[in-house]
């Protein structure tokens, strides 16, 4: 089955989603429309020329209110308010809300109530979605009848949750604390800025290139929302000036003492088995840039594993905060789209 999506916000995540779909044969996803406050010309330029991902490996044109990507037409809307985007006209089933501006369940739901879409996936740790679904950790809890607006939580939560799931399932895990070190985000500022950051903590308006910036990021808690058996967790979160490639570390207590070798073996087995594609495993000595373009939620680094005689464990994983996360957003779009009724346009595309 093919799922027809629309993307609101053609920024870092919106363009990664488009690159992935456009370069993956049989992705199972068709992008029917995008919406942004930028013109179609600019969206085409942004897709073609990307400082992190390189030149687009295909053709991109803008023609009127359409982008033409590898000969596939994508309708472009230019609306600043989500309740004004006419997704139904483009036969969009699932909207990916990727502006970073409309992160509450209520705001994102207007893609359904006003735009005519059937489901929404917010590409962020939203407030009050119908469900937080971390692909590979708890996406089996998806309930098509009651979950219309879904959040995958954040890229860091995805990386942490996948390592936590393996430890939890194999050894039992509690008393967890986590740490995320995140590459530069588009909302950060080149120079110190005191207004216009829309974030309460003034440190988040500080110059991105000069500091390690702590972020009181509540999304860390969402690891235990995805995996409630973990109980409460402690978390910390730091923004650093690297352009892409981020770090997740998790520590806690297992039900019985385990060795580093046992843990690394469990991770390698999960990466080759049930979590293939979501968890990756690299025995080589790695640094953050090595994870660039890796589609997994977490690239497990066995050299980071530590254990104590009393069941203390510590593990490390890397993640491409854009690329891996965008793959999981698309996994969720497929999950929720496949449970939605097939649109008439879908059937036309299939017959074409
Ligand atoms: N970049 C990452 O590494 C990353 C990882 C995980 C989650 N996220 C989350 O994904 C969301 C998007 O992040 P991003 O990095 O793509 O941001 P971005 O700033 O690169 O892109 C945002 C896009 O939305 C557009 N936009 C702004 N206001 C709009 C409006 N009113 N209507 C329509 N379009 C509008 C902008 O023009 C821009 O193209 C954020 O919530 C972010 O926290 C980002």
Do 107 and 163 lie in one domain? The reply is no
Do 296 and 337 lie in one domain? The reply is no
Residue 11 near residue 98 (C-beta atoms within 8 A): yes
| Nearest C-alpha neighbor of 316 from the set 219, 251, 255 | 251
* Ligand 1 center to 186 CA (angstroms): 7
Position 221 scores a pLDDT of: 84
- Retrieve residue 211's tokens: 């500091």
Ligand 1 atom with the shortest distance to the CA of 103: 41
pTM of the model: 0.95
Do 214 and 286 lie in one domain? The reply is yes
How far is residue 345's CA from residue 130's CA, in Å, rounded to a whole number?
27
In a domain, 142, yes or no: no
* Three-class SS state of 80: coil
In a domain, 12, yes or no: yes
**CATH code of the domain in which 253 resides:** 3.30.360.10
Position 350 scores a pLDDT of: 33
Position 21 scores a pLDDT of: 98
In a domain, 149, yes or no: no
Do 45 and 160 lie in one domain? The reply is no
Q: What is the pLDDT of residues 138-180, one digit of tens each?
A: 999 999 999 999 999 999 999 999 999 999 999 999 999 999 9
Do 270 and 338 lie in one domain? The reply is no
Residue 30 near residue 93 (C-beta atoms within 8 A): no
Residues of the chain under the 50 pLDDT cut: 342-352
| Residues pairing with 253 in the sheet | 174, 312
How far is residue 349's CA from residue 152's CA, in Å, rounded to a whole number?
28
Do 165 and 290 lie in one domain? The reply is yes
Position 342 scores a pLDDT of: 47
Do 179 and 309 lie in one domain? The reply is yes
Do 29 and 104 lie in one domain? The reply is yes
Nearest CA to ligand 1 atom 20: 11
- Report residues whose beta carbon is within 6 angstroms of any ligand 1 atom: 8-14, 35-38, 80, 98-101, 103, 123-124, 154-155, 185-186, 321-322, 325
State which of 100, 134, 185 you would mutate to test the pocket of ligand 1, scoring each by most atoms of that ligand within 8 A of its C-beta: 100
| Domain of residue 51, residue span | 3-129+326-351
Tally the C-alpha atoms within 13 A of residue 67's C-alpha that lie toward its C-beta: 32
* Ligand 1 center to 311 CA (angstroms): 41
In a domain, 336, yes or no: yes
Do 258 and 200 lie in one domain? The reply is yes
Position 216 scores a pLDDT of: 79
In a domain, 138, yes or no: no
Cite the active site residues. Answer: 155
Nearest CA to ligand 1 atom 28: 99
Residue 329 near residue 17 (C-beta atoms within 8 A): yes
State the binding site for NAD(+). 12-13, 36, 123, 321
In a domain, 36, yes or no: yes
Q: What percent of the chain has pLDDT over 70?
A: 94
Residue that has been written with the tokens 């985007």 in this structure: 85
Residue 35 near residue 101 (C-beta atoms within 8 A): no
Residue 176 near residue 249 (C-beta atoms within 8 A): no
| Nearest C-alpha neighbor of 6 from the set 101, 109, 77 | 77
State which of 6, 7, 9, 161 you would mutate to test the pocket of ligand 1, scoring each by most atoms of that ligand within 8 A of its C-beta: 9
Position 345 scores a pLDDT of: 43
Nearest CA to ligand 1 atom 15: 12
* Three-class SS state of 314: strand
Do 230 and 264 lie in one domain? The reply is yes
Residue 350 near residue 343 (C-beta atoms within 8 A): no
User: Strand runs (DSSP E) across 70-207, as ranges?
Assistant: 72-77, 94-97, 119-122, 131-132, 149-151, 173-182
Position 131 scores a pLDDT of: 97
In a domain, 148, yes or no: no
* Ligand 1 center to 294 CA (angstroms): 20
Do 296 and 345 lie in one domain? The reply is no
State which of 19, 87, 99 you would mutate to test the pocket of ligand 1, scoring each by most atoms of that ligand within 8 A of its C-beta: 99
* Three-class SS state of 20: helix
Bin 13: left if φ > 0, else alpha if -120 < ψ < 50, else beta.
alpha
**CATH code of the domain in which 337 resides:** 3.40.50.720
Position 199 scores a pLDDT of: 66
In a domain, 137, yes or no: no
How many domains does the structure of the chain reveal? 2
Q: H or E element: which one contains 60?
A: strand 60-63
How far is residue 298's CA from residue 281's CA, in Å, rounded to a whole number?
8
- Retrieve residue 258's tokens: 């385990």
Q: What is the pLDDT of residues 311-330, one digit of tens each?
A: 999 999 999 999 999 999 99
Do 330 and 314 lie in one domain? The reply is no
User: Strand runs (DSSP E) across 123-245, as ranges?
Assistant: 131-132, 149-151, 173-182, 213-214, 233-239
Contacts with 147 (C-beta within 8 Å, 6 or more apart), sequence order:
130, 131, 133, 336
How far is residue 70's CA from residue 87's CA, in Å, rounded to a whole number?
22
How far is residue 111's CA from residue 101's CA, in Å, rounded to a whole number?
14
* Ligand 1 center to 151 CA (angstroms): 14
């Amino acid at each position: 089955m093919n799922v027809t999506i629309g993307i609101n916000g053609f920024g870092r995540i919106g363009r990664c989603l488009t690159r992935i779909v456009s370069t993956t044969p049989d992705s199972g996803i068709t992008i029917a429309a995008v919406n942004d406050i930028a013109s179609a010309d600019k969206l085409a330029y942004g897709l073609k020329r990307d400082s992190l991902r390189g030149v687009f490996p295909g053709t991109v044109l803008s023609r009127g209110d359409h982008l033409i990507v590898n000969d596939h037409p994508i309708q472009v809307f230019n609306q600043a308010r989500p309740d004004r985007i006419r997704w139904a006209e483009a036969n969009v089933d699932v909207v990916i809300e990727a502006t970073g501006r409309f992160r509450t369940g209520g705001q994102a739901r207007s893609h359904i109530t006003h735009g005519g879409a059937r489901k929404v996936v917010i590409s962020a740790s939203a407030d009050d979605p119908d469900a937080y679904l971390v692909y590979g950790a708890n996406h089996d809890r998806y309930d098509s009848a009651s979950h219309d607006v879904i959040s995958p939580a954040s890229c860091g939560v995805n990386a942490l949750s996948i390592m936590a799931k393996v430890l939890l399932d194999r050894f039992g895990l509690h008393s967890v604390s986590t740490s995320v070190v995140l590459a530069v985000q588009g909302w950060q500022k080149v120079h110190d800025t005191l207004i216009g950051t829309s974030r309460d903590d003034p440190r988040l308006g500080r110059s991105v290139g000069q500091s390690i910036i702590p972020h009181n990021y509540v999304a860390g808690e969402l690891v235990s929302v995805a995996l409630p058996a973990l109980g409460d967790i402690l978390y910390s979160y730091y923004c650093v000036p690297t352009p892409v490639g981020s770090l997740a570390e998790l520590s806690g207590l297992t039900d019985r003492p385990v060795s580093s070798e046992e843990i690394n073996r469990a991770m390698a087995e999960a990466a080759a088995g049930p979590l293939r594609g979501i968890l990756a495993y690299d025995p080589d000595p790695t640094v953050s840039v090595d994870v660039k373009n890796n589609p997994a939620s977490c690239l497990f680094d066995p050299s980071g594993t530590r254990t104590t005689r009393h069941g203390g464990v510590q593990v490390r994983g890397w993640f491409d905060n854009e690329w891996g996360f965008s793959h999981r957003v698309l996994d969720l779009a497929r999950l929720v789209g496949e449970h939605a009724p097939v649109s008439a346009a879908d059937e036309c595309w299939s017959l074409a």
